[in-house]
Structure 1
Amino acid sequence: MPPYHIRKYQDSDHKSVVDLFSRGMKEHIPTTFCYMLMLPRILLLLLGVPLTLLLVSGSWIVVLLSSLILFASLWLLAKHSWEKYLVKCLHTDMADITTTYLSSHDSCFWVAESRSQIVGMVAALSLEKKQKKQLWLRHLSVSLEHRRQGIGKAMVRMVLQFAQARGFTEVVLSTSVFQYAALALYQDMGFQKTGEFFFSIISRLRKSPIIQLKYCLTSAQEEDL
């Protein structure tokens, strides 16, 4: 038997779920920062500004201070994006998980539990379209200490099985370009990229789109669930 089990969310899980979700979001800050450092325009900025100041002032102290300010600004920019998203979620759907996800027959929220601790989570929310019945996979997260145990894959499979049982035609989701492991997991399980978009001017400037994915619940794929 696996060292965890998946069950429906309970109100008593709220603090643990919020903590898990918050830690997961904050993990993306260093990745975002490093991604930004590799952008040509950022590299040009990091090299050009200190060099210009050196030529104008002739002071290496000014160069050092300007470099520190630039790096600190980039870190705060990376941090701001994730913290803004975190605050938004905690004040909307994550504020009352029971009402958002468990008050409807076609939505759900699961947690993975190991030794009485919440180590994973995933949500599914019904989306009504004109010609398609879509299920929105949201907030997949696994604690750092419990990764590579198949928890993420098991939770995605839980959502797919739920969608199949409820008669959904598609499972859709969005993930950031920085979430490399999650993106690889989804694509490995059969999700296909359908598009991408920029959620803000900042994300467009740093070329970090949100990736949209879709899983079509055809009879051939249902046999593999």
Structure 2
Amino acid sequence: MRVFTWLPLSSPGLSLVDFETQTHRSSMAPYHIRKYQESDRTWVLGLLSQGMAEHAPHTFRHLLKLRRTLALLLGGPLALFLVSGSWLLVLVASLTLLIAVRLLAQYPWSQFVANSLYTDMRDISKSYFSEPGACFWVAECEGQVVGMVGALPAEEPTLQKEQLQMLHLNVALEHRRRGIAKALVRTVLQFAAHQGYREVVLTTSMLQYAALALYQRLGFQITRQYFFSKSWVLIAVPQFQLTYSSSGSQPF
């Protein structure tokens, strides 16, 4: 049984530092949330890569259910058989198409990692600690980084003082279902309140079911649906922007 004590921001004696480093105990080993350090970089990048790679099998299954994919997988080999009469060619073609669909399912996630490594995750300390209003946290358990989350001001200049972006929420597979993701999200919400932001926004995909459910339980609402790029259109996986507002039913 997990035992957490969450104190409101206005509670006497609770500073932001206290919140960021508090320890959480569960039926397994305790973990604590703290600010990112450069020594965490290898762990954090590993979590990023592993977390995105997890979505490829779900995306593959999603693609196999699409009518256009089924038409390609069935119609292509059938047309080849009618032309060649060779079952061997049909088998080779079918396997080739399946491999192509599998690679297509993996591509957007690997592209996301590559883009992150080229932008904010290239130099985490510089991206998240060079200016006020941004931060990056990790969840540590028994000397290992098992979770992470970042927060940056909105990219649009007019919203930078009002809107905080939550990025890269991820928890190692073997440490899930312990409340770590929820604790990391609440860390961001507390930070947003402390910094005077009015909203926290994030983006997740249609296929990230557990993450989407978690955000909605914590008070986030879907405010936008869109496709991040052409590759996402190709695999028919839209992204959702979710917003947590201090003026909503669940204030910071």
Return the letter of the residue paired with 1:195: R
Distance 1:7 1:191 in 2: 24
Distance 1:219 1:66 in 2: 54
After TM superposition, list the pairs within 5 Å mapping 1:18-167 onto structure 2: 18-127=45-154, 129-130=157-158, 133-167=162-196
Deviation of 1:136 after TM superposition, in Å, equals 0.2
- Tell me what 2:240 maps to: 211
* Structure 2 contact 147–169 (Cα < 8 Å) conserved: yes
Q: How many residues align structurally?
A: 223
What SS does the aligned partner of 2:250 have? helix
Deviation of 1:121 after TM superposition, in Å, equals 0.1
- Tell me what 2:211 maps to: 182
Q: 1:108 to 1:64 in 2, by over 3 A?
A: same
Deviation of 1:200 after TM superposition, in Å, equals 2.1
Distance 1:158 1:97 in 2: 18
Return the letter of the residue paired with 2:158: K
What SS does the aligned partner of 1:138 have? strand
Deviation of 1:220 after TM superposition, in Å, equals 4.8
* Structure 2 contact 105–235 (Cα < 8 Å) conserved: no
Given the two structures, how large is their TM-score scaled by the length of structure 2? 0.85
Return the letter of the residue paired with 1:55: L
Return the letter of the residue paired with 1:170: E
Q: 1:186 to 1:86 in 2, by over 3 A?
A: same
Return the letter of the residue paired with 1:43: L
Deviation of 1:129 after TM superposition, in Å, equals 4.9
Given the two structures, how large is their TM-score scaled by the length of structure 1? 0.94
Distance 2:68 2:228 in 1: 20
- Unaligned segments of structure 2, at least 5 residues: 1-24
- Unaligned segments of structure 1, at least 5 residues: none
In angstroms, what is the RMSD of aligned CA positions? 1.5
Distance 1:220 1:62 in 2: 60
Return the letter of the residue paired with 1:157: R
Deviation of 1:189 after TM superposition, in Å, equals 0.9
